[in-house]
Structure 1
């Protein structure tokens, strides 16, 4: 018997179990990547909503004239009203706070809860997300 014939006769077993194991790992990895991508996009949408609400809040000023110079004064109520309208129009977030820390800037915080599109054992069901944005108005 030649060496080659001995090697082929000693080769017993199957790689089916190994292939199935790799397939399961690949499927789990794909599902987790889909959930991670969904989480990333949800955070970006929330940040965009916060940016839009802060920008609208910065437009909630009252115009005053002091010593011949126009001044844009922000109030907490004006910022909140403008930001609430934008957040309500978006509809995917909840307005947590909106106000002005210095009378010139509008700071808005929005929140939501993300749920994975494909529930797996490795991804939690429901992750709270929060985003804060600040916008400043300027009269030129």
Structure 2
């Protein structure tokens, strides 16, 4: 009697398990798809920030090259003004910075240029969660070659 009962219990357990593997597989597939989409958006955000960092570096370098060369005491001296830095950085950001804006460009000490640029990142996949995008900002400093 116990053998029959054990077989009946095994058959009942086997009947209850039908179809649960399909739901589990479907759940994991959806979870994997969401993970891939989040990774795509995170990678896009990272690359957008890196592009903005590179633009800030290039604008600071261009601003640092906008120096005026003068001779003081028999030695050449490179002097920067905030207007020169801003003009050089604005020209570069206007030419290269697709969608980026120059927030500030100045020289804190007369030999280095500090530039801040800003842009907006829009997610390529999950735009429903961030419809207005994310504001990004990057600041870079560059010194003149001649001091």
Structures share fold, TM-score greater than 0.5: yes
Instruction: Within 5 Å, give how 1:76-95 maps onto structure 2.
Output: 76-92=82-98, 93-95=100-102
Q: Does structure 1 conserve the Cα–Cα contact (< 8 Å) formed by 2:118 and 2:135?
A: yes
1:68 paired with 2:74, answer: yes
SS in 1 for 2:108: coil
Mark the runs of 5 or more structure 1 residues left unpaired by the alignment: none
Once residues 69 and 4 of structure 1 are traced to their aligned partners in structure 2, the CA distance between those partners, rounded to angstroms, is: 101
Shift of 1:138: 2.7
1:34 paired with 2:37, answer: no
Which of the pair has more CA radius of gyration? 2
SS in 2 for 1:63: strand
1:7 paired with 2:13, answer: no
1:131 paired with 2:138, answer: yes
SS in 2 for 1:106: strand
Mark the runs of 5 or more structure 2 residues left unpaired by the alignment: none
Once residues 71 and 27 of structure 1 are traced to their aligned partners in structure 2, the CA distance between those partners, rounded to angstroms, is: 59
Shift of 1:6: 4.9
Once residues 120 and 32 of structure 1 are traced to their aligned partners in structure 2, the CA distance between those partners, rounded to angstroms, is: 11
Shift of 1:3: 5.6
2:103 counterpart residue number: 96
Question: What TM-score do the two structures reach when normalised by structure 2?
Answer: 0.86
Question: What TM-score do the two structures reach when normalised by structure 1?
Answer: 0.90
2:53 counterpart residue number: 47
Q: Does structure 1 conserve the Cα–Cα contact (< 8 Å) formed by 2:89 and 2:105?
A: yes
- C-alpha spacing 1:68/1:4, structure 2 compared with 1 (3 Å): farther
Shift of 1:20: 1.3
